[in-house]
Amino acid sequence: MMQPIVPRHVYYWVYGVLLALTLLTVGVAFLDLGHLNLILALSIAICKALLVMLFFMHLRYSSHLTWIVAGAGVIWLAHLLIFTLSDYLTRGWLPVGAW
Amino acid sequence: MSPTIAIPREHYLNVSYGVKSWLFTTDHKRIALLYLTTITLLFFVGGAAAVLMRLELMTPQGDLVQSETYNKLFSTHGIIMVWFFLIPSIPTVLGNFLVPMMIGARDLAFPRLNLASWYIFILGSLFTLWVIVVGGVDTGWTFYTPYSSIYTNTFVVAAVVGIFIVGFSSILTALNFIVTIHIMRAPGLTWFRLPLFIWAQYATSMIIILATPVLAITLSLVALEHLFGIGIFDPALGGDPILFQHLFWFYSHPAVYIMVLPAMGVVSELITAFSRKRIFGYSFIAFSSIAIAVIGFFVWGHHMFVSGQSVYASMIFSFLSMLVAIPSAVKVFNWTATLYKGSISYQSPMLYALGFIGLFTIGGLTGLFLASLGVDIHVTDTYFVIAHFHYIMVGGSVMGYLGGIHYWFPKITGRMYPEGWAKFSALIIFAGFNLTFFPQFLLGYLGMPRRYHFYPEEFQVLNVLSSAGASILGLGYVVPLIYLIWAMRYGAPAGPNPWGATGLEWQTSSPPPTHNFEETPVVTQEAYAYGMPEEDLKGGR
Amino acid sequence: MEGNGALAEQFDDLAQQHEAASLGMWVFLVTEILFFGGLFAGYTVYRATYSEAFREASHHLDLLLGSINTAVLITSSLTMAFAVHNAQEGRRRALIVFLLLTMIIGAVFLGIKVTEYAHKYEQDLVPGIRFAYGGPHPGQVQLFLIFYFVMTSLHALHLTIGIGLLGVLAFLAWRGHFSADYYAPVETSGLYWHFIDIVWIFLFPLLYLIGTH
């Protein structure tokens, strides 16, 4: 299944948005928003990554199988992080013996 | 035996001769044989380490080797057997040979990548063999930090480089299988008409893709820490050695499913063929392969119950570890139901399959003991754990591997092996195996720790029994080596389908032509259509 | 490498061959996600534990150079997308131009990275090689810097391999290997290149933008 040809202007638009988001994320870093700093930075990064995946990597025009493969990679990474953190964040929660 | 059965004139083995035609081949069948040679050699290297260990353990004192040497022996045994035998075994030998054939394809999607995969495996093996020769590592196959990253002065960096390299080989094979199975199935071969061996290979490949890279980066960090004195896992810098264990077991637990799922795939094929009956619960077995692959990623913390991991996380891992047993049990029930009212014959592949079911069940049930937090506190790091995983890896995977080698031997070579010797070996292996490893359950329960080469006097009887069993088991492995090599040359011609089995691989000649099929087959029926009106089997018993 | 439009014998047609190549590269990228993922997992654990020290250490990185590099890499992704676009349209010369442009911009990224590394060396902030830190929590700051160097150098290694790959492609394109019917290697290399961009998209905020500046 050859990919459909994406019009050039789409690429230019995506590029512009990516640069704008980069400026945004740097700008936000100069504001003191506590925990929101991290959340915003990650959200912006996720948006940028999605734009690159959907348009530059043609995911938007790809088969469902490709979606599932890409999704699986992301989900498994999230799982690695979440389950590992589940240890670190819960040490000392239960008063069991002396760890 | 029909006098008209003959080896076909031209097939993949005689289409070209000479070392170059083998070393530069892109034929998946030849590559499978290249792997077979390599891993057989490595199996006996890992086995040699085990022989020395069991010899040492005949007496309570540490008198055969020194402690440091013993540490190197069990490390070598683990590293070789896990990464250089069990993980590659069925996928690279039986998988490489059969995956294209079972789906009616001419080859895998990326034949040159397949060959590269073997060369990469050779490179990694050479690294590791070199490490063994120059003195080995003493960290255990688990490379726990900070010992492996800071304190040991054995060849950790070279060893992890070898393992990193073969991990890459593994990934490329899995990638090849996934793409091939998705894209190159013959016309009419829908997912639910695939042989269960293919489902098992697919699930295994999923695990390899998702888990192996984490091992690669983790071992790389150990190497960096060792080389540069930087301390990712170094408590002095605020690093956490438990982080290593999390990352290591994130791979290494799914790795055990990499080692057992392919054998389960083989067993599904053997049980149907030798009961001449449709598999019971096809979709249950297919989905349970996927379920094992997925849930297997959620349980790694059960290796870390006593490490300092949070009790809360441990409870979650314990519960999930119970869950992962369910799809395995589903398979065992379905195999048993397939046997029920089947027309069973006890050819040697079937002996291996039946052995698998029994021994895997014991291994799996003892896994539940270990999954229980309370019990695990007492038996962790004892011989109970060793017995548990050997029941699955040896009683399970190795027997599945040998059963598959025997079953597809006529397809691979065009000849039959001597059945009498095969039955003899299967029985010797079964007996030797149980004598070796059952006493180890008792030893572990009684408190004998693992990785020690001396032990209290009262454990000697059980240890001697275990070592005696190991000698019988070793004999059992050597005998097939002899008669299979003999049969490659002198065995009776087998014909395309000596077992009268269903499956596309049996619809072509033995040995097959280079491109597997004269014409691409078209599939119109389910996988195990035994005893059904449209049964279309060429050849027969 | 197959000749212009040549079909490999294991495939039924060019479309199947193309699909296989594309799926193969996506599966490989999944392994790369998990490969870098191990580092992200370690980073996450330590940042959660030592947030103060990590914030402090992050301020020692050069935000300006890091931001410029982010824009540089995004630009290289644009030129790579155009390279694939021109391959799809069978425009040989434009394909070669954009491949070369992408390589050059990638090299610029590497040049800036090396400059940053050199600065860190002068500031005695290279763990394992030259490290001396006078502020509080030196151990934890060192931990952050270990992750900084390992993650960015692994990324840079992948980028270097990518540049080499594009060089090979440019050569093959010059030799007339690709056409509107056969351009899968360009597309799959593009996927790899964009993945490298995505890794940096996450590395940048996680390493350079911790806490307030």
Q: Does residue C3 lie in a domain region?
A: no
The answer to whether B298 contacts A90, with C-beta atoms less than 8 Å apart, is: no
Q: Which tens digit of pLDDT belongs to each residue from B67-111?
A: 999 999 999 999 999 999 999 999 999 999 999 999 999 999 999
The confidence score (pLDDT) of residue B237 equals 86
What lies within 8 Å, CB to CB, of B163 at 6+ separation is: B79, B83, B124, B128, B215, B219
Query: Could you give phi then psi for residue B480, rounded to 5 degrees?
Result: -60, -35
pTM of the model as a whole: 0.96
Mean pLDDT on B258-268? 98
CA contacts within 13 A on the Cβ side of C171: 7
| pLDDT band with cut points at 50, 70 and 90 for residue A91 | confident
Please state, for a pLDDT cut of 90, what percent of chain B lies above it: 94
Instruction: Judge whether C146 is closer than 8 Å to chain B, CB to CB.
Output: yes
Q: In chain C, what residues touch A55 (CB-CB under 8 Å)?
A: 81
Q: Does residue C6 lie in a domain region?
A: no
Smallest Cβ distance to C77: which of A42, A56, A76?
Answer: A56
* For testing contact with chain C, the best of B181, B227, B230, B522 (most C CBs within 10 A): B230
Least confident of B435-444, B522-531, C31-40, C183-192: B522-531
Query: Could you give phi then psi for residue B449, rounded to 5 degrees?
Result: -75, 155
The answer to whether B184 contacts C16, with C-beta atoms less than 8 Å apart, is: yes
Q: Does residue C39 lie in a domain region?
A: yes
Q: In chain A, what residues touch C33 (CB-CB under 8 Å)?
A: 73-74, 76-77
Q: Which tens digit of pLDDT belongs to each residue from A24-43?
A: 999 999 998 888 999 999 99
> Minimal Cα distance from A53: which residue of C?
C194
Q: Does residue C7 lie in a domain region?
A: no
Q: Which residues of chain C have pLDDT under 70?
A: 1-5
Smallest Cβ distance to B301: which of A65, A79, A87?
Answer: A87
> Minimal Cα distance from B239: which residue of C?
C143
The answer to whether C20 contacts B109, with C-beta atoms less than 8 Å apart, is: yes
pLDDT at B151 over 80: yes
Please state, for a pLDDT cut of 70, what percent of chain A lies above it: 92
The answer to whether C32 contacts B106, with C-beta atoms less than 8 Å apart, is: no
Are C35 and B186 spatial neighbours (Cβ–Cβ below 8 Å)? no
What lies within 8 Å, CB to CB, of C61 at 6+ separation is: C116, C148, C207, C208
Shortest Cα–Cα distance, A8 to chain B (Å): 30
Q: How many whole angstroms separate alpha carbon B362 and alpha carbon B365?
A: 5
Q: In chain C, what residues touch A92 (CB-CB under 8 Å)?
A: none
The answer to whether A86 contacts B310, with C-beta atoms less than 8 Å apart, is: yes
Place of tokens 């009616």: B104
The answer to whether C35 contacts B213, with C-beta atoms less than 8 Å apart, is: yes
The answer to whether A85 contacts C33, with C-beta atoms less than 8 Å apart, is: no
Q: Which tens digit of pLDDT belongs to each residue from B195-231?
A: 999 999 999 999 999 999 999 999 999 999 999 988 8
Instruction: Judge whether A54 is closer than 8 Å to chain C, CB to CB.
Output: no
Mean pLDDT on B165-173? 98
Query: Could you give phi then psi for residue B382, rounded to 5 degrees?
Result: -115, 180
The confidence score (pLDDT) of residue A95 equals 65
Question: What's C201's domain CATH number?
Answer: 1.20.120.80
Smallest Cβ distance to B313: which of A80, A90, A99?
Answer: A90
Mean pLDDT on B47-55? 97
- Structural domain boundaries of chain B? 26-507
Mean pLDDT on B448-472? 97
| pLDDT band with cut points at 50, 70 and 90 for residue B453 | very high
Q: Which of B181, B99, B36, B90 is closest to B404 using CA atoms? A: B90
Q: Which tens digit of pLDDT belongs to each residue from B304-363?
A: 999 999 999 999 999 999 999 999 999 999 999 999 999 999 999 999 999 999 999 999
> Minimal Cα distance from A86: which residue of C?
C45
Instruction: Judge whether C139 is closer than 8 Å to chain B, CB to CB.
Output: yes
Q: Which tens digit of pLDDT belongs to each residue from B7-46?
A: 888 999 999 999 999 999 999 999 999 999 999 999 999 9
Q: How many CB atoms lie within 10 A of CB B453?
A: 21
Q: How many whole angstroms separate alpha carbon C211 and alpha carbon C192?
A: 31
The confidence score (pLDDT) of residue B3 equals 58
Q: Which of B277, B275, B218 is closest to B243 using CA atoms? A: B218
The confidence score (pLDDT) of residue C158 equals 98
The answer to whether A70 contacts C211, with C-beta atoms less than 8 Å apart, is: no
CA dihedral C40, C43, C48, C52 (to 10 degrees): -140
Q: How many whole angstroms separate alpha carbon B137 and alpha carbon B149?
A: 12
Kindly report the average pLDDT of chain B as a whole number: 95
Q: Does residue C79 lie in a domain region?
A: yes
Q: Does residue C8 lie in a domain region?
A: no
- Which residues form the domain of C65? 14-208
Q: In chain A, which residue ranges form alpha helices assigned H by DSSP? A: 8-28, 35-51, 64-88
The confidence score (pLDDT) of residue A96 equals 60
Instruction: Judge whether A88 is closer than 8 Å to chain C, CB to CB.
Output: yes
| pLDDT band with cut points at 50, 70 and 90 for residue B467 | very high
Q: How many whole angstroms separate alpha carbon B270 and alpha carbon B408?
A: 10
pLDDT at B233 over 90: yes
Smallest Cβ distance to C48: which of A5, A15, A88?
Answer: A88
Q: In chain C, what residues touch A49 (CB-CB under 8 Å)?
A: 198, 201-202
- Domain B26-507 grouped into CATH 1.10.10.10: no
pLDDT at B2 over 70: no
pLDDT at B540 over 70: no
Instruction: Judge whether A8 is closer than 8 Å to chain C, CB to CB.
Output: yes
